[in-house]
């Protein structure tokens, strides 16, 4: 399932990540519903009936999907009251990404850790996803809704590190003092890989598009991205802006305001005043989206 021609890290780092994930393989594997939906969506003989049949088997998933479909995340004028209607209105591909999002929250919530509250973690992730999608819309990115999934999952590698390397991560968190850039550099020095490369590896296993895998892998170093340079810059910017906010910051306290360079905006193809409207939209969608997913 993984793309053999797209290394997610150097060979030694790749091996280390594989070893790290070996003990939690059962916890981080994509749920059966995701695998089945992936097959159906790529089958020319399947339609809304077959797709809705797979989703409807899980009442909790059905409830959360309908809650999302009827939220300001989509802002449809008419109520969506069935999964088959959601498939028709939202589309197969985006429905699959919503199922992935809901399943990811459920999956990674099962991995115990003592270093971060999961509420803070998901608040940051959801807000980053919403802002990344809003920026992508304004930057005319194809399929901007995928950036929500990338934002939601961009830090899932941290959950693995908190669980598998708690002592080392406790030290790193103390050094970082709530600054995610410091944390990222400290991870590279300590492990020779980071939460970002772990997340990219996992997203590849979950069969997400190559552009999103690379955007997540390089969301701290977007200049190194190749096929997803624009997406990586969007995710980098969304992550940093959310860390300035009261509601969605990384470790429970907002960091100092960052300066947005014109080079960064040029990479994305956006004017600075458009960020204000993207942030305003994300703030409006944040409470209901968080409630629907968590």
Residue-range domain boundaries for the chain = 31-108, 112-294
0.85 surpassed by pTM = yes
CB contact set of 19 (below 8 Å; sequence gap of 6+): none
Integer Cα distance of 18 and 35 in angstroms: 21
pLDDT tens-place string over residues 76-104: 989 999 998 988 888 888 888 889 999 99
The predicted model gives 60-65 an average pLDDT of 91
CATH of domain 112-294: 1.10.3210.10
Task: Show the DSSP H helices in the chain as ranges.
Answer: 11-22, 25-28, 32-41, 48-56, 59-69, 83-90, 92-108, 118-138, 146-153, 156-164, 166-176, 180-191, 195-205, 210-217, 229-243, 262-268, 272-293
Supply 286's token pair: 């944040």
Cα dihedral angle (238, 241, 245, 250), rounded to 10 degrees? 70
> pLDDT-derived band of residue 8, with 50, 70 and 90 as boundaries?
very low
Integer Cα distance of 290 and 288 in angstroms: 5
Integer Cα distance of 235 and 254 in angstroms: 18
């Amino acid at each position: 399932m993984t793309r053999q021609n797209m290394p997610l890290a150097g060979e030694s780092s790749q091996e280390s990540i594989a070893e790290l994930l070996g003990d939690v393989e059962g916890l981080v594997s994509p749920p059966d519903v995701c695998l089945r939906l992936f097959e159906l969506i790529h089958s020319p003989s399947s339609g809304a009936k077959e797709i809705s049949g797979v989703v409807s088997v899980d009442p909790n998933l059905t409830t959360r999907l309908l809650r999302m479909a009827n939220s300001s995340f989509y802002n449809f004028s008419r109520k969506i009251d069935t999964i088959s209607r959601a498939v028709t209105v939202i589309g197969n591909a985006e429905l699959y990404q919503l199922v992935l999002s809901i399943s990811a929250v459920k999956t990674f919530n099962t991995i115990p850790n003592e270093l971060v509250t999961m509420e803070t973690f998901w608040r940051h992730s959801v807000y980053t996803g919403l802002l990344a999608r809003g920026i992508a819309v304004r930057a005319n990115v194809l399929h901007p809704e995928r950036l929500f999934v990338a934002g939601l999952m961009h830090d899932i590698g941290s959950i693995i590190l908190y669980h598998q390397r708690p002592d080392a991560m406790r030290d790193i968190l103390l050094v970082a003092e709530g600054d995610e850039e410091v944390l990222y550099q400290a991870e590279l020095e300590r492990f020779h890989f980071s939460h970002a490369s772990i997340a990219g590896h996992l997203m590849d296993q979950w069969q997400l598009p190559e552009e999103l895998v690379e955007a997540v892998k390089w969301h701290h170093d977007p200049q190194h991205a190749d096929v997803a340079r624009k997406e990586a810059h969007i995710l980098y910017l969304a992550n940093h802006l959310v860390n300035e906010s009261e509601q969605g910051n990384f470790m429970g306290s907002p960091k100092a305001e960052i300066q947005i360079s014109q080079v960064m905006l040029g990479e994305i193809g956006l004017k600075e005043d458009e960020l204000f409207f993207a942030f305003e939209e994300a703030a409006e969608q944040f409470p209901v989206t968080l409630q629907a997913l968590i």
